Chain A
């Protein structure tokens, strides 16, 4: 037995009031009489007495319950035996942004996909449909094995705004859902490229058309003090207009009374991008817009304020004078740094202290001019060039994992969140080389990255979402598609968001930080290679076998009518007596 529309079984809920009415009817107002025998109709089976009455009423209840069950089965589209064979159709829709592109007739590719999917469901006489949307993370839009009308309704409300991605994982998943030998219908806007391995059971339907397009390929905002700098790159794909107008509107920020709007015409190179830069004072959100074209979604961006995260650094007691003055010189010119003790401050202390960073040499000091062996992949050593450096270090090795050594001496090590610099600055020249500010800059960058929230305030489609959380708190991520909890503590790397928009990190219900995912993806904006085509499945499926029975089964209706008629007959007879 199977059900084409299981929600119809909710009609069984009618049994509750039916049974309740039965028991309520049995509890009528009691009336005491002198002689019950004068009320009772003498019958041939009078000896059965009240049992006969009860049986009649219970029979009526059973018949009414049978009628309810039959009605529920009819509504649930029950299928037995051969009728129970269903035709399951698996549809995969490309979830990338380019499916939102409009054709010459103004219809988007996604609208064509919806119409084609509905036609395919009708054509295949599908009784259940599963709809998947491909993306960097595939997802189920309807199903598994949803009712066709619900599946198509889910497709109607779907918006394709995803990044460029590989569809193979989604197609393989769809094949597993469809079952062996069953076809999968994939709808996209371009025929498969040469060399792309398409699963044999997939019917690839492309409904796109080549279009010219002008798009933002990147947008970046940086806030320093009250000045916001917005950098845009605008590209032309195809033989479209050689010139376009960029409209940038800055909403008023804190302390500003009104916003600013700027328009700038820009010449677009044939195969390249034009870069524009705008600066605003006291700006809130900055909105960028290009004239509407085939894909208007990639011509709009909203850039919230992205101030650089400030870092507090405190120098502990015990640092030698050379080290202290060297560090203070660097911190004085380093942007976004505040000096002094405070909550969450990065403490720099002498060797052997429990400061986050220790500076100093222990034991007999030796000076090294190379060769230096460094763990290049470590973020602390990014771009650290040690050519010409004279590094004086103590013979006693600092604790932890060695990040940089010279001979048998460990110059830099890391242990349980601490960084140890084995250096005697009085005898070294490292503080006078470029390696010193780069090394300390990397250190501050890592501190910034370990602060709670999003390390980056703007992301493009398809970029991984990095977020830092503190242990002991409950975090949720609220985005355009709802709220979901975040598990884990520390630096987390979340899958790329499926749709653009603003994502807010909340700690225990309170917003902590926000990131804007921009609908920008140059590969999706390039619509020149799109086109139409229908590539049939290479492997013949057994879809043709055993179609579903047309319409709903009629026998529950017959049972329903029969039960009602017999019930009517019984109750009528009882009343007549």
Chain B
């Protein structure tokens, strides 16, 4: 829907150097880096001992153990890797409900890729629009500029079109998560192959507190389905109640998949979001 690159790239550039993504503490796989990996490698951290087999690196032979036991014992050390970062941006029409919502989604996705790049996490960006896109590295910025929120279906359906999610250290999903889908199954699928999963829910002011007072023909942003309602206090209260139930279900699904559910109200400035609602994801650089 929205094609204009109306997000504040300068603000993202100002914030990115001072931030670091909250990385998982469990061993991961990845390129050689600073994080301990689950695989055996050449770091100084001892991982295990085992009997020498032909072809093993003789430099890893524990000669003290050989002397004690008379067997060829080999030291197995942990590998040190750099975890991969995958940022998945929901490209459905509802993400462009308002220019601010679209901009906020773009800014968060860009900030995640920029901060990840600073950390050497080799970011990968997936945009689930009508034409799904998967880019890596420096082109993420330009991909976000040209990304359009034009998908007539929700994120759950878009996963079927997107390239398969790859195992990674950190996966950040930016969406409004306002769709009818089996949330536990969706979150479980998003968490698959990722050491850590952050669900960043971008919500517009109208999503959080819709204005009422008159009759309206409510049109679904994605499906185009319409519903005529008189937006009375009772109707708005019913919406708030159902919205709260939806959020509760999303939170429960995230907790079950050991994912972190963060709500980013679009009206708030990016700096405010980073310092507040998104603090669990964007840590100050020194802390990480």
Contacts and interface: CB of A to CB of B under 8 A. Distances in A.
Interface of A: 25-41, 50, 53, 575
Interface stretch (B42-50, B68-76, B156-164, B173-181): B173-181
17 contacts: A26-B228, A28-B217, A28-B228, A29-B216, A30-B219, A30-B226, A31-B217, A32-B97, A32-B221, A34-B97, A35-B94, A35-B179, A35-B246, A38-B178, A38-B239, A39-B229, A53-B227
Contact of B221 (A27, A29, A33): A33
Most buried by A among B97, B204, B218, B242: B218
Contact of B216 (A28, A34, A38): A28
Given A28-B228, A36-B218, A36-B219, 7 more contacts: A28-B215, A32-B97, A32-B219, A33-B219, A34-B204, A35-B246, A39-B235
A37 B154 CA distance: 13
B242 A38 contact: yes
A34 B176 contact: yes
A365 to B, nearest CB: 107
A29 B214 contact: yes
Nearest to A34: B94
Contacts, number: 74
B216 A35 contact: no
B182 interface: no
A-side interface mostly: mixed
A30 B216 contact: yes
B52 interface: no
Nearest to B235: A39
Given A28-B228, A50-B227, A53-B227, A36 B220 contact: yes
Interface string B198-212: 000000101100100
Contacts of B63: none
B212 to A, nearest CB: 10
A39 B226 CA distance: 11
Contact of B210 (A27, A28, A29, A33): A33
A38 B241 CA distance: 9
B66 interface: no
Closest 10 pairs between A and B when the two form their complex, measured CB to CB:
A36-B220, A35-B178, A34-B94, A31-B216, A28-B217, A34-B178, A30-B217, A37-B180, A38-B242, A28-B215
A36 B246 CA distance: 13
Interface string B225-255: 1111110000100110011001000000000
A33 B217 contact: no
A53 B238 CA distance: 18
A289 B281 CA distance: 115
Contacts of B217: 27-31
B223 interface: yes
Contacts of B220: 32-33, 35-36
Contacts of A32: 97, 219-221
B202 to A, nearest CB: 10
Interface of B: 94, 97, 176, 178-180, 204, 206-207, 210, 214-221, 223, 225-230, 235, 238-239, 242-243, 246
Most buried by B among A34, A41, A50: A34
Given A38-B243, A50-B225, A53-B228, A33 B206 contact: yes
Given A38-B243, A39-B239, A31 B218 contact: yes
Nearest to B230: A575
A575 B207 CA distance: 23
Contacts of B242: 38
Most buried by A among B97, B207, B228: B228
A28 B214 CA distance: 10
Nearest to A29: B216
Contacts of B225: 36, 50
A468 B210 CA distance: 84
A29 B219 CA distance: 10
A38 B179 CA distance: 9
B266 to A, nearest CB: 11
A34 B210 CA distance: 11
A40 to B, nearest CB: 6
Contacts of A27: 217
Contacts of B229: 39
A36 B243 contact: no
B176 A38 contact: no
Given A28-B215, A28-B216, A30-B216, A35 B228 contact: no
Contacts of A25: 215, 228
Contacts of B216: 28-31
A35 B219 CA distance: 9
Contacts of B221: 32-34
A39 B228 contact: no
Contacts of A34: 94, 97, 176, 178, 204, 206-207, 221
Most buried by B among A27, A30, A36, A37: A36
Contacts of B176: 34-35
A25 B94 CA distance: 26
Contacts of B228: 25-26, 28, 53
Contacts of B227: 36, 39-40, 50, 53
Contact of B218 (A26, A39, A41): A39
A53 B227 CA distance: 9
Nearest to B242: A38
A231 B42 CA distance: 149
Nearest to A27: B217
Contact of B223 (A29, A36, A41, A53): A36
Contacts of B94: 34-35
B214 A50 contact: no
Nearest to B211: A31
A22 to B, nearest CB: 12
A36 B215 CA distance: 15
Contacts of B210: 33
A575 B235 CA distance: 10
Nearest to A33: B218
A572 to B, nearest CB: 13
Contacts of A35: 94, 176, 178-180, 207, 220, 246
A50 B220 CA distance: 13
A575 B234 CA distance: 10
A39 B216 CA distance: 12
A571 to B, nearest CB: 11
Contacts of A41: 238
A325 to B, nearest CB: 103
B223 to A, nearest CB: 7
Contacts of B219: 30-33, 36
Contacts of A50: 225-227
Contacts of B246: 35, 38
A444 to B, nearest CB: 87
Contacts of B214: 29
B246 to A, nearest CB: 7
A52 to B, nearest CB: 11
A183 B246 CA distance: 84
